[in-house]
Chain A
Amino acid sequence: MDFSFMLSAFLRLLPGIPLTLQLAVISIALGITLALFLALLRLSRIKPLEWMARAYVFVFRSTPLLVQIFLVYYGPGQFPALRHSILWPILREPYWCAIIALALNTGAYGSEIIRGGLQSVPHGQVEAARAFGMGRLQIFGRIVLPLAVRQALPAYGNEIILMVKATALGSVITLMEVTGLAAKMISETYRAIEVFVVAGCIYLVINFLVTRLIQLVEHWLSPHLRSAPISTGFEKKVAA
C-alpha cells in the first residue's frame, strides 16, 4: 500500500468530518424529540394516536433509508405547491433533505427504544410518586423519564452509532461529507481501496469516541446500578 497516498487521502477527507458530524448530531437531536413524541403517542392508550405511531414506525423501519432519502430529496420538487411554499428553501437543500430523512428514520427506531424504556419503569415507583401527591407531569419528569432514559441508553447508544454511519448515505444526494469526498477522490484517482480504507478509519475513530462518550454518560447516570459487588457464592467457600 502507498502510505503517502493514504496520507494525502486522509488530508482530502478531513474537511468532510464537520459535515458528517453535523448531519449526525442534528438528525439525532431532532430524531430523539420525534422518538419521544412517538413513544408517548404509542403509550397514550388513545387508539387512533397509538395506531398513527404504529403505522409511522412500521413504514420507516420497513423501507430502506436510502429510499427515504431519495424520496425526501426528489419528492417535494414534483409538487409545484411545495416548490412555491415557504418550505422550499429548506427542501431544495440536500443538506436539509438528508437531515430530515435521517431524523424521520431514527425517530422510528428511537421511539421503540424509548417505549421499551418507559415500559420498564417499575410500577411501584410510579405508584409511590402518586401516593405522595405528585402530579402527572411531575411524575413523568422526575420519576418516569429519568428511569426510562437510564434503561434506554445502552440501546440508544447503538442507534447513535448506526446514525453516524448512516450519514454516509448523504453522499448520494451530493453531500460532500467523508464518504462523498472519498467517492469524488476515487473518481479522480481510481484508487478505491486506499481511499475507502482511510474513510472507514475515520468512521472508526468517530464511533470509538462516540462509544466512549455514551459509556461516560451511562456511568454518570447509573450510580444506582453500581451496587455492591454481586455475590457469586464463591466467597464463602474461600472463607471456609
Chain B
Amino acid sequence: MRDTSYQAVMQRKNEIMKKSVGMDYGKYESGSIAFDYEGMMRDTGYTIDEVIRIQKGFSIGDTRIMELKNITALARKCAKPGKGARIFIKDEAANPSGSFKVRRAAISVYQAKKMGYKGVITATSGNYGAAVASVCAMAGLKCIVVQECFDSKGKGQPEIIEKARKCEALGAEVVQLSVGPELFYSVLLMLEETGYFNASLYTPFGIAGVESLGYEIAHQFRKDYNCDPDVVVCSNAGGGNLTGTARGLMKANCHPQIVAASVNLKGLHMASDTQFNRKSFTTSHTGFGMPFATNPDRSDVPRSAARPLRYMDRYVTVNQGEVFYITEALASLEGLEKGPAGNTALAAAFYLAQEMDENQTIVVQETEYTGAGKHVNPQLSFARENGIEIKFGNPDEEVPGKSIILPEHPSLIRARDYDMEHLRKSYIKNKIAGFDKPTAEDIKFLAEETNTDCDFVLRAIEEISK
C-alpha cells in the first residue's frame, strides 16, 4: 500500500506527473535557470495547421469577430475629439463548451486519446472544466474535474457551482473541495488511482491549442477589415490565454500590441478560507495574474508552457465594478449577454480605445457563456448577501472584499497600468533565487522570458543582489 500522506504524495509529484502527461520535462532542463521552452513547445508535435484540424474535428474555433459599434460610440462620447478606436470582440462563447478554453482542452484530450489513456483529470473551478468535459464527451473518454468550490461553512460561489453543473451535464465526475492549495495533492492521488491523463492547463498541448485563437484573429481581420489589429487585449489569469494568443498572432506574422488585463483583487489572499467568498471574480484576477506572470512555474506541471511575460507589452488592471458595468453595457447596447469574467479585457479595452485614434482598432479576444450563477446579476446578488457594499461612485475607491463600485458614469472606467519593469524584475528575482551565479545561457533565457535584453537582465540582477 502506498503512503498517501500529504508529504509522501508531494514527494512523488514528478513521477506521477511524468506518467500522467506522458512527457519527460527533464530533457528540456539545462541544470541551471534556463530551460528549452521552444524545444518543449515544438515537441508537442502539433503544427498550427494540425491544431486547427484537430479543433475543427471537434467543431471548435472559427468563431466570429464582432464589431461593437455602440460600445465604441459610447467610448467616443467619453474620449477627446478624434479619439476612440473601433472595438471588436471575438465570440469565443460560441465554442462547444462556451469559452475559448475548449481550444486548450481539444489538444490535451486528443493527445490523451492518442496515447491510449482511458480518461482525463483536470483541476479547475473555471471554464476549463466544462471544456475538458465537452471534448471528453466527443472523444469518448472519461473525465474527472476537481474544483475548489466551498468555504469551510459549505458555501460556494454561484459561478463555481454553475460550472460544476455544466461539467456534470457533459458527463464528467466532479470532485468538489474546500478552499486550499492542497487540491493539487488530491489531484495527484486521483491520477495515481486512475492512471488518467493530466489535462493541466499549463502543458504545451494546452497552450498550442490557444495559438489557433491568435492565428484566427490575424486572418479574419485581414479578410474582413483589410488590416491587422493595432491592439489585442487578453483577460489574464494563469497566462495561457495571453501566451497562446500572442504565439498564434506571431505565427500569422501579425504584431499588435499585446495587453494583459486582470481584475484587481489586491489585498485578498487566494488561499484564505474566510476571503474565498468575498471575491466576485473567480478568475481573470490579479490573485492569479501577478504570481503566474512573475513565477509561471508555480503551476501544476514542472515547467509551465504559459509564459505571459515573454509576450506582454502592457499589463493593466480594472476593478470589479467596472467589469460588471461593461458587462451590462454589452447586453444593453450590443444585445450580447456574456459572462462577466471574460469581459475583463472588454472593460480595459473600453478605456484603452479612448487613448487611441478613431481609425485604430482594438480586439478583445474572448467572450464566455453566461447563465444561472454565472451572470452579472447572481454574482452581484451573492456579493451583497456576503456583506459587500455595492454602490455607484468612483471605481478608484473600490476596496476588494469590501465594496464593488459601479462607475457613476462610463467615463470613470479606467485601465490602470501596472509597472512592467517591476513585474520583469520580480520575475528575475524569483528565477535567480537559489542560484549562485547565472550562466550566460541563463542571462539570455531571462531576457527572452521578460521580453527585454541581456543588459536589462544584468542590471536587474545587480540591483537585486544589492
A is bound by B: no
